[in-house]
Every structure is written in structure tokens, then in C-alpha cells.
Amino acid sequence: AEIFGSTNMAFGPAGLRAAAADEKAIPPDSDINMRVVLHECLPLAGDTPVWNDMIQEVTWRKTNGNSHYKRHEYQKALRCYGAGVKVFSDNGFEPPDYVEEANRPRVRAMALSLVADCSANLAAVHLELGDAVAA
């Protein structure tokens, strides 16, 4: 699928500098087009999307944190990774009842892996900021 992002939904008046030599900077006030690839859909046995929303939020926080980290925007990365860890810390890792029994171990492992990634990345940011104790 392709998604269009208008200026106020993209990177706004600041634009976004390139993180690596092989990337292009995004100029200020640019509209963007993105190509999105769906990797997997987990079947739901019920109508409650809460677990999927939590997975999506942690994934989004990790991805944005990674982008900030690459650009040496450590305070922003710190907030992203910290918020990603907090999602499941507040709600626990046990999948809800609507997740089919056969999928529960894989779904729980996915959540644990995402939070572990955010936690490790959070430690790396603290090290970059010179705070080994927090790491």
C-alpha cells in the first residue's frame, strides 16, 4: 500500500537531516509518499484490538527511537524508548483471552522481544549521554 503524508503530518518546518551518507535529507515543509509492506497479520478471535494496539505502539516507539538515535538526537530517542518500555510494563505481558491458545506463546514472545529491544536501546542512549548508572 502507498500512504501520502502532507506537510503537517510529515517532518514539518524543520525537515529531517540525513542519518547516513546513502540517505537523502527531507527538506522543510515536504510532502512525503511512503510504501508500506505488511509482514504479518495475527488473527483475532474477538473484537478487542487492545493487544495489537500495544504491539503497534511499542513498534512505533522503537522505530522512531532508532531514527532519533541515528541522528544523535538522544533526548528524543530516550523518550521514545522509555515510552515503548512503559506500554507493557503498565499492562503485563500475558496476551488477552481473545488471542487463540496456539498463538499465545508467539504473541507473548513478540511483546517481550520488542520491550527487550527498547530496553537495550534505552541503555545505549544512556551510555551515549554519559550516564552509565542509568544504563
Q: Are 36 and 1 in contact (CB under 8 A)?
A: yes
Q: 10 Å Cβ neighbour count for 70? A: 13
For residues 26 and 80, give the distance between their C-alpha atoms in angstroms, rounded to a whole number: 21
For residues 59 and 65, give the distance between their C-alpha atoms in angstroms, rounded to a whole number: 10
Q: Position of cell 524508548?
A: 81
For residues 124 and 35, give the distance between their C-alpha atoms in angstroms, rounded to a whole number: 30
Q: How far is CA 12 from CA 8, 28, 31, 72, in A?
A: 5, 6, 9, 19
For residues 74 and 71, give the distance between their C-alpha atoms in angstroms, rounded to a whole number: 8
Tell me the pTM.
Answer: 0.66
Amino acid at 73: E
DSSP E strands: which ranges in the chain? 2-5, 32-35
Q: What is the pLDDT along the chain (135 residues), one digit of tens a residue?
A: 556 555 555 677 778 888 888 888 888 877 777 677 776 666 655 554 478 888 999 999 999 999 999 999 999 999 999 999 998 887 788 888 888 899 999 999 999 999 999 999 999 999 999 999 998
Q: What is the SS3 assignment for 6?
A: coil
Which cell goes with 2?
Answer: 502507498
pLDDT of residue 105: 93
pLDDT of residue 97: 85
